[in-house]
Amino acid sequence: MNQIGKIICARRIEKNWNQEELCKGICAVSYLSKIEKGKAEPSQEIVAKLLERLGITIDEEKEQQAKQTAEQAYEYVFSAMNREFRELLGRTDIKELEGTRYAIDLKLLEQLASSEMKPLNSSAEASMDLRQKAVQKVLSGSCEEALLLYPNAWMYLMSGIDAYEKGKINDASDYLNTAYDMGAKEGTVRILLSAALYQYRCAAAVHDFAKMKEISQRARRIAVSLNERNTLFMIEYNMALASVGAGDYEEAYEFFSSLDKPNSLSLLFLAVCCEKTDRREEARSAIDEANADSPHSPLIAQCLKLVSCRLDHPDYLDQEEYGNILKACRQSALSEPVNGTATLITRWLLEWYQATRQYKKAFELLADEPWAAQ
């Protein structure tokens, strides 16, 4: 569809006019239909009359501005350069460019930048090209349909994120792997980083600790190259959590002990690493510091009691108090999950079931969480 046809169709639909209402006295309905579909090249006279009836004035300067803005914005979006994308739209007066050929593009992009991300009215889809329809599908939450219309690395990334959030981990992994590969070919480094971060989440969802560490290391290199300090910290934090999950407590200790201002959750993991590496006094110190850093969640408070019990009682597996705290932790973790704690609690619960010869419960736990036997 040519640009004039698109803008005529879009504005007609915006005004809620049918084709006959627009073209009466100017051209035949069938001819207008061809113009809107890009199957006819109308004369300048007919175009001028149609635009005049629609109240559209072509301003070449605005047209050029709208085109440059839309194309630059698409480049940012499809490269996952989210900050740059929002900054561009933030300094653009979208309303001033509503009468241009790129009005639909700008409205779609404006919705992508908003927190609500609502699709445009479905009636506008009749005048959309494939790229516009794909973005409309993303805004509608139909990322897989968007991918079929306009396959690129960003569309695969969005499909992967959508599948992950819907709990379709295998599908999410496939989409994200493709997004990563395509991003590498396209040179869109932020696509690589975003895909890697969600690949980590997929690996975490199935407790594949080796994969979590591998992906974290890859993501870390990308974040360093982009000088993304906040993202880098999050990646290093995730690497430490993966090390705890894999039983590499010494490696995790190196991270948690290096934090300048650790929060109560980080102090909990530090205490765990210290207990596991026989740094018992340091573990107690971390627990005291975490308890002083109140208030924190009930789950963290229970986990701190759990580690204290392990430190105070060499025979903690025989202590009734330990079992009671452990079961309370399990219930809290199911209703109020806190990053990284569920793995510890599940493993310690299995250890306790086996030590207290509760083999049926151990079997049932492993049936639900087979990774805990690793």
Question: Do the domain assignments include residue 42?
Answer: yes
56-104 pLDDT tens trace: 766 778 888 989 999 999 999 999 999 999 999 999 888 888 767 788 8
Question: Do the domain assignments include residue 143?
Answer: yes
The verdict on 114 and 141 lying in the same domain is yes
Question: Do the domain assignments include residue 367?
Answer: no
17-65 pLDDT tens trace: 999 999 999 999 999 998 888 888 788 789 889 988 988 766 778 888 9
Question: Do the domain assignments include residue 174?
Answer: no
The verdict on 100 and 130 lying in the same domain is yes
Rounded Cα distance, 161 and 146, in Å: 13
The verdict on 32 and 111 lying in the same domain is no
Are 97 and 103 in contact by the 8 Å Cβ rule? The answer is yes
Question: Do the domain assignments include residue 293?
Answer: no
* pTM for the predicted model, two decimal places: 0.79
Place of tokens 């959508």: 162
The verdict on 93 and 130 lying in the same domain is yes
Q: Taking 90 as the threshold, does the pLDDT of residue 297 lie above it?
A: no
Confidence of residue 167 (pLDDT cuts 50, 70, 90): very high
Judged by average pLDDT, the poorest of 7-11, 72-76, 177-181, 245-249 is 7-11
Q: What is the pLDDT of residue 153?
A: 97
Nearest one of 145, 111, 123, 135 to 13, comparing CA atoms: 123
Tell me the mean pLDDT in the region 194-217.
92
Q: What is the pLDDT of residue 1?
A: 43
148-161 pLDDT tens trace: 999 999 999 999 99
The total domain count for the chain is 2
Write the burial class of residue 213 (CB in 10 Å: 0-12 exposed, 13-18 middle, 19+ buried). Answer: buried
Question: Do the domain assignments include residue 94?
Answer: yes
The verdict on 17 and 93 lying in the same domain is no
Q: What is the pLDDT of residue 2?
A: 58
Q: What is the pLDDT of residue 207?
A: 87
Are 181 and 156 in contact by the 8 Å Cβ rule? The answer is no
132-147 pLDDT tens trace: 999 999 999 999 999 9
Nearest one of 104, 101, 110 to 73, comparing CA atoms: 110
Question: Do the domain assignments include residue 326?
Answer: no
Tell me how far the alpha carbon of residue 51 is from its chain's centroid.
42
The verdict on 7 and 30 lying in the same domain is yes
Confidence of residue 126 (pLDDT cuts 50, 70, 90): confident
The verdict on 47 and 69 lying in the same domain is no
When the pLDDT of each residue in the chain is averaged and rounded to a whole number, the result is: 90
Token digits of residue 26:
């100017």
Are 107 and 120 in contact by the 8 Å Cβ rule? The answer is yes
The verdict on 81 and 139 lying in the same domain is yes
Tell me what percent of the residues of the chain surpass a pLDDT of 90.
Answer: 61
Q: What is the pLDDT of residue 154?
A: 97
Rounded Cα distance, 199 and 189, in Å: 15
The verdict on 45 and 78 lying in the same domain is no
Question: Do the domain assignments include residue 26?
Answer: yes
Its domain, for residue 130, covers 60-150
Q: What is the pLDDT of residue 247?
A: 87
327-354 pLDDT tens trace: 888 888 888 877 888 888 998 999 999 9
15, 32, 54 — which closes off a domain?
54
Rounded Cα distance, 195 and 353, in Å: 38
CATH number, domain containing residue 8: 1.10.260.40
